[in-house]
Amino acid sequence: MTRPFIEVRNLSIGYGARPVQKDLNFNVNKNDVFFVVGGSGCGKTTLLKSMIGLLPPSQGDVCYEGVAFYGSDHEQQLALLKNWGITFQTGALFSSMTLAENVALPMQLYTKLTGAQIKEAVAYKLALVGLAGFEAFYPSELSGGMHKRAGLARAIALDPKLLFFDEPSAGLDPISSMRLDELIVQVCGALDSTVIIVSHELPSILTIGTHCIFLDSESKTMLDSGDPKVLAESSQSIKVRNFLNRQTSAEVVSQ
Ligand SMILES: Nc1ncnc2c1ncn2[C@@H]1O[C@H](COP(=O)(O)OP(=O)(O)OP(=O)(O)O)[C@@H](O)[C@H]1O
């Protein structure tokens, strides 16, 4: 039997003495477009932070191809981190740098590529996200959608095998949001990457998601996991079905 790409085992996370989520157990398979789903404040971003090493769990661990992140030494953790691309809501581009400089930065820091090779790789990454010709633009000169795509170009600078996104389409109109979804799938296909996305955007979850987990703020744990379309139809949890079908409790009662 092949080992899951990522195994989250008995993970409990929180801030200080305050638990946010507990007893999380789930797998992410290679090439999944995996969504972390749930209502506002349930702990989606907190889980993402814990998965990328920013927030040590109070219990449990996250294994990447069999390597337990928090059970590893600093060297092993750095080796894992080098294979990841991460974008948070804001895109977090450096405003004083052009797009080319933003995308080149991880290559300059973490590879031995020459200046000419970096220039070529930057042009390729910008072309991949539809920003060919925008090398000399500054982030302030971009639209919201372009900003997100530029963030994606920087996240894929080092050809990551694993990409993490926190609310990638926040603030975009539905059409731009759909285009960004298509782009994420296309880029992940081109790089043979696996992607984990925190989101409560139903169209995205149901269109590009291959698997999801649903976190609940009340019970402070996950209520279900699986293919989002299947969960929308037949999750054992009414909360999950309602969420994925965008229904409130009041609507359900009145039916
Ligand atoms: N740095 C922090 N210190 C203390 N508590 C925090 C911190 N960050 C988040 N929290 C709390 O942890 C809980 C989960 O927050 P989190 O941002 O993970 O939720 P979320 O599901 O991503 O929310 P949203 O969908 O609104 O972005 C919230 O109650 C929040 O107030």
pLDDT truncated to tens, each residue of the chain (255 aa)? 678 999 999 999 999 989 999 999 999 999 999 999 999 999 999 999 999 999 999 999 999 999 999 999 999 999 898 888 888 766 678 889 999 999 999 899 888 999 999 999 999 989 888 899 999 999 999 888 888 888 888 888 888 999 999 988 888 888 888 888 998 998 888 889 999 999 988 999 999 999 999 999 999 999 999 999 999 999 999 999 999 998 654 554 444
In this prediction, does ipTM exceed 0.95?
Answer: yes
Ligand 1: centre distance to CA 44 (Å): 8
Q: What is the DSSP letter of 89?
A: T
What's the length of the chain? 255
Among protein residues, the one with the nearest Cα to ligand 1's atom 29 is: 41
Q: Model pTM?
A: 0.90
DSSP state of 4: P
Please state, in angstroms and rounded to a whole number, the distance separating the CA atoms of residues 135 and 115: 15
Atom of ligand 1 nearest to the CA of 49: 18
Q: What angle do CA 183, 36, 55 make, to 5 degrees?
A: 110
Structure tokens belonging to residue 74: 């600093």
- Classified as helix, coil or strand, 196 is strand
Atom 23 in ligand 1: residue holding the nearest Cα: 41
Contact 78/67 with Cβ under 8 angstroms? no
